[in-house]
Amino acid sequence: MNNFNTITLNLIQPIIYNKETVIETQDIESLYQLLIKKLDNNDVASEACINIEYINNDNISFKIIEAGFAPTPTEDVIEAVKKGKEIPLFEHDMEIIPGKYKFIQLPFLPTQENLFATLMQISCSQNFNQKGSFYLRLLKENSLVILAQVILKLKE
């Protein structure tokens, strides 16, 4: 069993995405695999995100709320990050809003087959509330590595 370490993320600017309309009706595992393939074919620093609702009763269930994709950052974005300035936002229809979050960097990229088990393990180890949502964020770090992160909103 993995021990998922968490940190608090204070997001001061939204992380933005464009919704993927062709994948809104996919199950989580198929959607996840589709986004991984899309990231594999895109440039380094592109990313995808799935907003997932969970219900934690006697059984834990997960449901897709929305999913989005962000292309490789532009030169303006890269320059703003280097200088610690506000990042210029592109037109978007999905975002992780500013606020306080629990942030988990997964030590591995789950396979399509073990994604559900990984999400179950995280939800149990982090004592998720009875009902809520979280983001599964995927980032193409380099030509060979895609990172997976879980971002869970903290109650204020």
Report pLDDT digits (tens) over 14-68: 999 998 765 656 789 999 999 999 999 999 999 999 999 998 887 889 999 999 9
Is 87 a member of any domain? yes
Q: How many domains does the chain have?
A: 1
**Which residue range is the domain that position 32 belongs to?**
6-153
Q: How confident is the model at residue 119 (pLDDT cuts 50, 70, 90)?
A: very high
Q: Is the pLDDT of residue 74 over 80?
A: yes
Is 118 a member of any domain? yes
Report phi then psi at 106, rounded to 5.
-70, 140
Is 0.85 topped by the overall pTM? yes
Q: How large is the average pLDDT for residues 124-139?
A: 88
Is 149 a member of any domain? yes
Q: What is the CATH number of the domain that holds 79?
A: 3.20.80
Report phi then psi at 137, rounded to 5.
-105, 135
Is 97 a member of any domain? yes
Is 137 a member of any domain? yes
Is 1 a member of any domain? no
Report phi then psi at 40, rounded to 5.
-55, -35
**Around Cβ 40, how many Cβ atoms within 10 Å?**
11
Is 65 a member of any domain? yes
Is 53 a member of any domain? yes
In one-letter notation, the amino acid at residue 42 is N
